Amino acid sequence: MTTIRSFMTDDHRRCDDFFAEAEQAIGKNNIAVARAAFGHFQSSVLAHFECEEKTLFPTFEAKTGMSMGPTQVMRMEHQQMRALLDDARSAIESGDIDDYLGLAETLLIMMQQHNMKEENILYPMCDQHLSAELPAVLERLEMELCDE
Amino acid sequence: MQALLSFENAPPFAAPLRFFLTAPLFAVLAGLLLAWNGPQLMASRWMPGALAATHLVTVGFMLQVMLGALIQILPVVAGANLRHPLRVARIVHIGLSGGGGLLAAGFLAAIPWLLSTAALLLGITLLYFLVVCVQALASVPSTSPTIRGLKLALVGLAAVVGLGMLLAFELAYGWSLPLAALVDLHAGWGLGGWAGILLVAMAYVVVPMFQLTPGYPARPSWWFPVAMLLLLLLWSGGVLGSVEWLVQLSQGLAALAGIAFCVLTLRLQGKRRRARADATYRYWQLGLTASVAALLMLLVSVLWPAASELDGWTIGFGILIIVGGFLSFITGMLYKISAFLTWLHLQNFGQAKIPAPAMNKILSDTDCQRQMVAHAVALALLLAAVIVPDWLARPAGLAFALANGWLFWNLACAVRRYRRAQADMAEKLAAL
């Protein structure tokens, strides 16, 4: 059965794929491919953030009344990652590979520890509290992620 | 769930940092002890110097980093918040450092009251740490193999410390217990039940996530920590009831389980999608290879017990599993977590107004890789010293001290750069 946890976790992995693609292209000195892959990575991550902030988190907050709780921290981490994404983007655009690799490494760890909290803690909470709305919520998340 | 409530609840940098900076110094002491004591330290595992050096590394280095890292990552991995993390860190760090130092001194000088004081100090410190962790983890459901592994590893910690205290009192007061069997069991709980299960639980997270490998298969992941714990309980039962075949059987199965985990991890890493081999990855590869070799030795000694009577067999096994295996894993991960924490704290310090320098500006991979070469050379020399102790024991000790001094230097430089960056950012913030 698809749960919020499994659905959103799969999307995390999809973003990881683009990240890996960009890094591999850099390893092969193929900057054009790396830029394109990073572009995909950035838009997938931003779409993921967006559907959480517009759909998943507000639904969770409305149901549980926890508006200053875990979702707030996740939003703050999204902001930190948006800044890192922008910085990495400008590094790769200007061809500053060393800077890009440093920022990408930082971004990867930031992203993975964030994913860990979502996958192990927040998504299971969502599945638990939103069990009645699950099909509707999943459908909306799916639609929003496809739109990107 | 509290852990997710706010960043303010995250442990301050000072909490884990004190452990990370102290640990390499204990390893330096172990290396210097070998250089000073020379070949006689390697004559047998029962030499006072060998016991002291082993505990300088296991308690002073391994336990130090593991507890510091746990204080930091329990909120992230398990959503379990320790109350007053800085206070916990201060108390545990003092107890552990003091206890580890006294224990080594007690072994070296063979002074009973030193040994028993060290045992009491370590026992009380770790009991306190366990109580704090159990409080934090009590309400956390085991929703992932990592969380279950963490919980079971704490059982291993309780067992290794309990047995360690028992053994220290036995040595101090000459109780008549089966020393050799209990020492083996103590090492089994320490390396398998505590460090091993903790490593595996962390590997489930760090290997796929940071090296972008496929995930560990779900079912074996859930069962591995449980199986390891059960095997150690069987082993304990064998020692209690003096059932030799049960001890052998559980040791052999534990070795096989360990080998399976290492081979699986090596295969997953073979499928990783990261383009660059950084120091953390290389340290993992070295650690896995050395661990497989060590566990094969354990397997051989189970099937052919006479092997462990061979000169240097047990010492060689100890060096392979502790220096080659655990120290490699721990150092590799220590670099990553230290660099990330400096970035995270600078990031929060900059309040999203001033950007923090990226991780590689604080701790460069080149520095880490160079230090790793020193670690690998020290490991090779230590292993060679098992065969020709007269020639190589002292150089190996110096090399080990040097590699860990270098680790300290790398970490200390990162902290210096962190402080400088923070001062720089404070100026910029004030000017806004």
- With CB atoms and an 8 Å threshold, state whether A121 touches B212: no
Distance CA B38, CA B76 (A): 44
Those of residues 76-115 in A touching chain B at CB distance below 8 A are: 76, 79-80, 83, 87, 98-99, 101-103, 105-106, 108-110, 112-113, 115
Q: At what angle do helices B218-240 and B197-211 cross, to 10 degrees?
A: 160
For residues B37 and B391, the answer to whether their CB atoms sit within 8 Å is: no
CB nearest to A70's CB, from B1, B273, B275: B1
Which one of B1, B352, B361 has the shortest CB-CB distance to A79?
B352
Backbone angles phi, psi at A92, to 5 degrees: -75, -35
pLDDT of residue B348: 85
Q: What are the pLDDT digits (tens) for B214-264?
A: 999 999 999 999 999 999 999 999 999 999 999 999 999 999 999 999 999
Q: Helix (H) and strand (E) counts for chain A?
A: 7, 0
Q: Which two tokens stand for residue A38?
A: 């990073």
Task: Tell if the CB–CB gap between A106 and B1 is shorter than 8 Å.
Answer: no
Q: What is the mean pLDDT of residues B304-327?
A: 95
Residue B77 has pLDDT above 90, yes or no: no
- Distance, CA of A137 to CA of B199 (rounded, Å): 37
Q: How far is B370 from chain A (nearest CA, A)?
A: 18
Q: Which residues contact B409 (CB under 8 A, 6 or more apart)?
A: none
Q: How confident is the model at residue B213 (pLDDT cuts 50, 70, 90)?
A: very high
The DSSP secondary structure of B278-332, one letter per residue, reads -HHHHHHHHHHHHHHHHHHHHHHHHHSGGGGGSTTHHHHHHIIIIIIIIHHHHHH
Asked if pLDDT for residue B19 goes beyond 80, the answer is yes
> What does pLDDT average to in each consecutive run of 10 residues of chain A (148 residues)?
92 93 91 95 96 95 87 91 94 91 90 88 92 92 82
| Contact (CB<8Å) A115/B209 | yes
Contact A73 B7 (CB under 8 A): yes
Percent of chain B with pLDDT over 70: 98
Q: Do A109 and B144 touch (CB under 8 A)?
A: no
Closest by Cα among B85, B325, B102 to B195:
B325
What per-residue confidence (pLDDT) applies to B4?
47
User: In this predicted model, what pLDDT tens digit does every residue of B265-292 receive, in sequence order?
Assistant: 999 999 998 888 999 999 999 999 999 9
With cut-offs at 50, 70 and 90, classify the pLDDT of residue B52: very high
B1 pLDDT tier (thresholds 50, 70, 90): very low
The pLDDT of residue A146 = 81
Q: Rounded to a whole number, what is the distance in Å from the CA of A79 to chain B's nearest CA? A: 8
Residue of B nearest to A67 (CA): B5
pLDDT recorded at residue B210 = 81
pLDDT for the residue numbered B272:
93
Nearest CA in chain B to A77: B7
Nearest CA of chain A to the CA of B400: how many Å? 30
pLDDT range class, residue B9, cuts 50, 70, 90: low
Q: Which of A73, A99, A121 sits opposite B358 (nearest CB)?
A: A99
pLDDT: is B380 or A148 the higher one? Answer: B380
- Chain A's closest residue to B344, CA to CA, is A110
Q: What is the pLDDT of residue B6?
A: 46
pLDDT exceeds 70 at position B2: no
A116:B347 CB<8 A: no
What is the rounded CA–CA span in Å between residue B165 and residue B175? 12
Whether B147 and A120 lie within 8 Å, measured CB to CB = yes
Instruction: Give the residue extent of every domain in chain B.
Output: 2-431
User: Could you say which of 3.30.70.20, 1.10.1660.10, 1.10.10.10, 1.20.210.10 is the CATH number of the domain covering B2-431?
Assistant: 1.20.210.10
pLDDT at B335 over 80: yes
What local confidence, expressed as pLDDT, does residue B7 receive?
Answer: 46
- The whole-model pTM stands at 0.93
CB contact under 8 A, A117 and B209: no
Distances (CA, A) of B258 to B54, B224, B282, B320, B343: 21, 9, 19, 14, 34
- Select the residue of B4, B144, B276 nearest A73 (Cβ to Cβ): B4
The C-alpha of A11 sits at a distance from chain B's nearest C-alpha, in angstroms, of 14
ipTM above 0.85, yes or no: no
User: Residues B157-194: pLDDT tens digits?
Assistant: 999 999 999 999 999 988 888 899 999 999 999 999 99
CA angle B105, B164, B42 (to 5 degrees): 55
